[in-house]
């Protein structure tokens, strides 16, 4: 997803891409076993608007993802979607002296830089996809998970296990009675 800045018309440009899940394999190479997989293509829509050397990028991603629930370990599918807007500016040629502490504004957080005559949007869009993934995916909000004793899926069946283990620090309270 590379664009020459000068080729982006003043009225803007729209581009649509489709990538498969292996598109992120290199970025996820150091990850331990993943609890998700992309079921279909990752759809990327970019709207580029140029003002002089600055480029406003609006991106939208959508993908079908299959996860393993962090509570009950059942597989489930959801649509992952994310929208992101950033401004790309030419990288300043000389670094400006910076004070020890700088307070960042919202505009600073939504600004990135490019070098040369082309902008490479692949890393930016890959970051957007990875940031849209939840750290712990749950099949549904009220998922009851697995019984810690017998391992039954409590969403499908109940178990007869009783939680009789008591933290040893609270054992003296077992005999405490209020009259």
- Domain spans, the chain: 2-144
Q: What per-residue confidence (pLDDT) applies to 150?
A: 86
Q: What per-residue confidence (pLDDT) applies to 165?
A: 67
Q: What per-residue confidence (pLDDT) applies to 89?
A: 86
Q: What per-residue confidence (pLDDT) applies to 99?
A: 64
Q: What per-residue confidence (pLDDT) applies to 164?
A: 62
Q: What per-residue confidence (pLDDT) applies to 133?
A: 87
Q: What per-residue confidence (pLDDT) applies to 32?
A: 66
Decide: helix, strand or coil at residue 62. strand
Q: What per-residue confidence (pLDDT) applies to 96?
A: 60
In degrees rounded to 5, what are phi and psi of residue 176?
A: -75, 130
Q: What per-residue confidence (pLDDT) applies to 128?
A: 87
In angstroms, rounded to a whole number, what is the distance separating the alpha carbons of residues 87 and 58? 9
* Residues with pLDDT less than 50, the chain: none
Query: What long-range pairs does 173-178 form, CB within 8 A, spacing at least 24?
Result: none
Q: What per-residue confidence (pLDDT) applies to 31?
A: 67
Q: Is the whole-model pTM more than 0.85?
A: no
In 3D space, the residue among 116, 52, 49, 133 whose CA is nearest the CA of residue 86 turns out to be 49
Q: How many CA atoms lie within 13 A of 88 on its CB side?
A: 24
In angstroms, rounded to a whole number, what is the distance separating the alpha carbons of residues 84 and 78? 20
Element (H, E) at 108: helix 106-109
99-117 pLDDT tens trace: 677 776 777 667 788 888 8
In 3D space, the residue among 108, 131, 130, 120 whose CA is nearest the CA of residue 57 turns out to be 120
108-143 pLDDT tens trace: 667 788 888 888 888 888 888 888 888 889 999 999
């Amino acid at each position: 997803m590379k664009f020459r800045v000068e080729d982006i018309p003043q009225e803007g440009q729209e581009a649509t891409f489709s990538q498969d899940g292996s598109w992120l394999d290199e970025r996820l190479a150091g990850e331990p076993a993943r609890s998700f997989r992309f079921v279909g293509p990752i759809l990327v829509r970019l709207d580029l608007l140029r003002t002089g050397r600055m480029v406003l990028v609006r991106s939208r991603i959508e993908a079908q993802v299959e996860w393993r629930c962090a509570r009950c370990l059942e597989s489930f599918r959801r649509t992952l979607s994310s929208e992101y807007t950033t401004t790309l500016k030419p990288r300043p040629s000389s670094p400006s002296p910076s004070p020890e502490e700088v307070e960042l504004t919202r505009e600073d957080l939504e600004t990135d830089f490019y070098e040369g005559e082309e902008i490479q949007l692949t890393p930016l869009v890959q970051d957007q996809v990875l940031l849209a993934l939840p750290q712990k995916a749950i099949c549904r909000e009220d998922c009851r998970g697995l019984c810690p004793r017998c391992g039954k899926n409590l969403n499908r069946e109940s178990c007869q296990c009783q939680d009789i283990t008591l933290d040893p620090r609270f054992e003296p309270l077992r005999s405490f009675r209020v009259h």
